[in-house]
Amino acid sequence: MNMTVVHVEAGRHLYGGALQVFYLLRGLANKPVRSVLVCPQGSAIAEAARDVVDKVYEMPMKGDLDIGFIKRLKWVLKEEQADLVHLHSRRGADVLGGIAAKWAGVKCICSRRVDNPESPFIARFKYRLYDQVVTISNGIREVLLSEGVSADKVQCVHSAVDVGKFDRAPEREWFLNEFDLPPQSRVLGVIAQLIHRKGHRHLLAALPDVIQQHPDIQVFLFGKGPKADELQQQIKQQGLEKQVRLIGFRDDLHRVLPNLHAVIHPADMEGLGVSLLQAAAAGVPLIGTRAGGIPEIVRNEQNGLLIAPQNVEQLRDAMLRLLSDDAQAQAWGAAGKEIVKTEFSINAMVDGNFRIYQSLIAQ
């Protein structure tokens, strides 16, 4: 018997959490589930999801203070005779969506994608709204447990990567021409929003010693964010303009990634790190910090190297080691590709969420 699940996603662009929701909706089309999507007006996921869900409701979603969203979502839940509501976003969707579900008498699941700590007082109130919480990493799950959320209420279902999209051969000539690079260049990439907790500043601090020993390297910072001007200033102050570039957002990362020598994620905090999954799917070795869910992707000495967060010296040494042994780097890249195929496939993510839906309906 089909169940009706209403999904709520507040993101306007089709990357990050919103892309994971699209993967889930696409996979659920092959399950006995009738999926309905609630999202902001004019959002990219609305257009992408029309072919894989039963119905899309585009409506105003103005953030945490948009009290009217409770009434709007409650109406959808009643109109669609929902069995479950799955809240995928935090801002303007988690608390307000949970209240709407309570008022509508519909069971509620909340996905949590970040490991930002909350006060135990807020956590105790907030997580009473949900019948189940799904975290995208065990690291996030541990944060919730430390805040007093009951263990039987929190399950981990890892985020997924479209392995087939990223598992492709390098295009060296295209890559060199696209970014106007010398033939001998080796490029290290960071793929993250340009915000403080992603730790770009640690990488820039570690680079001078690395460049001195490996003058052929280039470092590309992919992404946008409020720290762009500050990072550009730091690059200039350290005299790194010839080696470090702010690339901005690219919609062809699947083509770019296989040409990178390594991907580095020097984050202070991180829920999981989908960009690391994408890099691993492309066969790229990784350097990451022991923060949040990163160690669930980056396996030390298996598909890359793990370092302590905010440790510039360890970051420098990890880069030097990876750059000094190309054969080892390639072996780590191949191992990472197998890890992603086995543990972070879209099918595994869809099945994990579907089992939770079945369990709640059975209750």
CATH architecture of 3-160+345-362: 3-Layer(aba) Sandwich (3.40)
292: which DSSP letter? T
Give the confidence band of 318 by pLDDT, cuts at 50, 70, 90. very high
3-160+345-362 with 163-343: one CATH topology?
yes
The answer to whether 56 and 50 are in contact (CB under 8 A) is: yes
The pLDDT of 39-47, averaged and rounded, is 94
Q: Tell me the pLDDT of the chain averaged across its residues.
A: 95
Cα 251 to Cα 91, 140, 214, 274, 344: the distances in Å are 24, 28, 29, 15, 21
Would you state the structure tokens that stand for residue 310, as one six-digit string?
């905010």
The pLDDT of 282-302, averaged and rounded, is 96
Nearest CA to 5 among 108, 82, 109, 106?
Answer: 82
CATH of domain 163-343: 3.40.50.2000
pLDDT tens for 64-83 read 889 999 999 999 999 999 99
Give the confidence band of 15 by pLDDT, cuts at 50, 70, 90. confident
pLDDT tens for 294-308 read 999 999 999 999 999
Record the pTM. Answer: 0.86
Q: Is 70 exceeded by the pLDDT of residue 2? A: yes
Residue 1 pLDDT: 56
The pLDDT of 229-240, averaged and rounded, is 96
User: In the chain, what are the domain boundaries?
Assistant: 3-160+345-362, 163-343
Give the confidence band of 53 by pLDDT, cuts at 50, 70, 90. very high
How many whole angstroms separate alpha carbon 363 and alpha carbon 355? Answer: 12
